[in-house]
C-alpha cells in the first residue's frame, strides 16, 4: 500500500481517537459537575466549614458525605484517603454522635411543641475538628478533579490514587491532635471534657494501631 495512504489512514485514526478521548473526558466531567451541583455536596461542606457554631445536624451531613461503611484499617494504607475516610466515619459515629446524642434527645423532652427542632451545638474545640475535616474533604475532592487518571481498572477513573499515604492527611491528624490537647488543657476542666478527650484518643489510637515506617516519616514532618 502507498506510504502516503498509510500515513493518511494513521492520521485519521489518531484524530478519531483524540476526538473520542476528548468526548469521553468531557462527558465524565459534565457528569461529575452535574452530580455535584444536584447533590450540593461541596456547598454543604463549605457551609459547615464556614459556620460559627457547629450543630449535631452538621455532623450528620458530614457523615452522609462519606462512605456508607468504613474500610477496615487493616485493609488500607495509613494516612491514605481510604484510611482517613474510615477515621472520619468513626469520629462521626463513635465520637460526635455518641457524645451529643443524649443532649439531642433531652432537647426534645424539654420542649412542649411537637414541631420543635432541637439545635444541639458542640463545643468550640470540637467545632474546629469538624471544620478541619470539611476542609480536608473539600481539598481532596478538588485535587481529585484536577488529577485525572484515565486507565484504572475497576475504580473511579476521575479520582486520584486514594490508597497512598499523603502529607495532607498527616497535617490533618496533627491539627486534630492539637485540638485534643486544647480539650485537655481547657479550664475549668470537667468530667465531660476529660471523657471526650479520652474518647478521641481511643479512636485515634485504634486507627494508628500499628505505626509503619512511612507513617512515622509523614508524622515527623
Burial class of residue 201, CB neighbours in 10 A (0-12, 13-18, 19+): middle
- Rounded (5°) CA angle 128-134-136: 105
pLDDT for the residue 163:
78
The values of phi and psi at residue 183, to 5°, are -65, -40
Res 152: pLDDT: 47
CA 54 to chain centroid: 17
The residues of the chain scoring below 50 in pLDDT are 31, 34-35, 104-117, 149-161
The residues pairing with 121 across neighbouring beta strands, listed in sequence order, are 55
Map out the domains of the chain as residue ranges.
Answer: 1-39, 42-219
Q: Give pTM, 2 decimals.
A: 0.72
In the prediction, which pLDDT does 89 show? 94
pLDDT at residue 107, as a whole number: 43
At 154 the pLDDT is 44
**CA 114-44-154 angle, 5° bins:** 120
Q: Residue 159: what pLDDT? A: 43
Amino acid at each position: 500500500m502507498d506510504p502516503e495512504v498509510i500515513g493518511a489512514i494513521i492520521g485519521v485514526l489518531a484524530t478519531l481517537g483524540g476526538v473520542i478521548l476528548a468526548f469521553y473526558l468531557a462527558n465524565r466531567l459534565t457528569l461529575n459537575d452535574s452530580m455535584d451541583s444536584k447533590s450540593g455536596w461541596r456547598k454543604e461542606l463549605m457551609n459547615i466549614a464556614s459556620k460559627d457554631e457547629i450543630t449535631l445536624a452538621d455532623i450528620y451531613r458530614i457523615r452522609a458525605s462519606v462512605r456508607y461503611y468504613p474500610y477496615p484499617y487493616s485493609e488500607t494504607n495509613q494516612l491514605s484517603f481510604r484510611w482517613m475516610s474510615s477515621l472520619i466515619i468513626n469520629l462521626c459515629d463513635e465520637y460526635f454522635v455518641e457524645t451529643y446524642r443524649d443532649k439531642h434527645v433531652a432537647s426534645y423532652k424539654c420542649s412542649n411543641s411537637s414541631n420543635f427542632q432541637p439545635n444541639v451545638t458542640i463545643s468550640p474545640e470540637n467545632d474546629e475538628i469538624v471544620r478541619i475535616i470539611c476542609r480536608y474533604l473539600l481539598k481532596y475532592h478538588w485535587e481529585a478533579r484536577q488529577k485525572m487518571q484515565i486507565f484504572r481498572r475497576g475504580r473511579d477513573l476521575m479520582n486520584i490514587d486514594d490508597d497512598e499515604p499523603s502529607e495532607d492527611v498527616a497535617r490533618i491528624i496533627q491539627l486534630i491532635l492539637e485540638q485534643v490537647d486544647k480539650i485537655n488543657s481547657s479550664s475549668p476542666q470537667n468530667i465531660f471534657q476529660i471523657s471526650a478527650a479520652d474518647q478521641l484518643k481511643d479512636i485515634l489510637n485504634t486507627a494508628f494501631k500499628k505505626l509503619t515506617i512511612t507513617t512515622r516519616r509523614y508524622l515527623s514532618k
